[in-house]
Amino acid sequence: MALTTLDPRTALVVIDLQAGIVGAPTAPYPGPDVVARTAELADAFRARNLPVVLVRVSFAPDFSDVPPGRTEAATSGGSRPEGWDVIVPELAGHPEDIVVTKHNWGAFHGTDLDVQLRRRGVTQIVLTGIATSIGVESTARAAYEHGYHVTLATDAMTDLDGDAHANSVAWVFPRLGETGTTEEILQLLAKTHS
């Protein structure tokens, strides 16, 4: 579905743009490009007094809060470098932003994200971040299930695998909301929130 509107109370929700993730090899976009586009969106949202939510993933030093369960894929346990879970400087440092720490793929389960959004009257979210098919898609699915209108900034997200990104954008996201580029979202934001 093409991008049609942004609700009066729309929030930008940024997934895992943190030190230990943005430098990973990604496709189709490099992490720094995703950060730059997201920062542009964040500035536009802040200028209109719309909420910006910075979601980061973090775990206890002993990884006691890593989700349990058996999987066939290797888990991401093990040591992390100091500061790997710090929000990138291009987005950090705005006291009005909401920071949510998650311990799962999606930003809703086990966090106060839904409460933070509902207290502010938010009915729609615009999603950006890394990785498209993991944290972003999981959050989009939960947002849809929580009754939010979902918009996905497809050039302000990227994945560890280009095919996984393409699959989410082509097949999953159209079932959860509307997609658009950063520029399209900025234009619609200027038009509907001037």
CB 107 within 8 A of CB 100: yes
Instruction: List, in order, residues 6 or more apart from 27 with CB less than 8 Å away.
Output: 158, 159, 160, 161, 162, 165
CB 99 within 8 A of CB 87: yes
- Give me the phi and psi of 107, to 5 degrees please: -90, -5
Token digits for 5? Answer: 């509107």
Instruction: Map tokens 């802040």 to a residue.
Output: 46
Q: How far apart are CA 153 and CA 145, in angstroms?
A: 19
Q: Spell out the domain ranges in the chain.
A: 10-59+85-192
Q: What angle do CA 166, 34, 50 make, to 5 degrees?
A: 110
Give the strands of the sheet with 52-57, arranged side by side. Answer: 98-102, 52-57, 10-15, 124-130, 149-158, 178-180
27-66 tens-digit pLDDT: 999 999 999 999 999 999 999 999 999 999 986 555 555 5
pLDDT confidence tier of residue 177, bands split at 50, 70 and 90: very high
Q: Is the pLDDT of residue 82 over 80?
A: no
Give pLDDT, residue 84: 75
Token digits for 49? Answer: 């007094």
- What is the pTM for the complete model shown? 0.92
CATH 3.90.400.10 for domain 10-59+85-192: no
Give pLDDT, residue 138: 98
Q: Is 47 exposed, middle or buried (0-12, 13-18, 19+ CB in 10 A)?
A: exposed
pLDDT confidence tier of residue 194, bands split at 50, 70 and 90: confident
pLDDT confidence tier of residue 2, bands split at 50, 70 and 90: confident
136-171 tens-digit pLDDT: 999 999 999 999 999 999 999 999 999 999 999 999
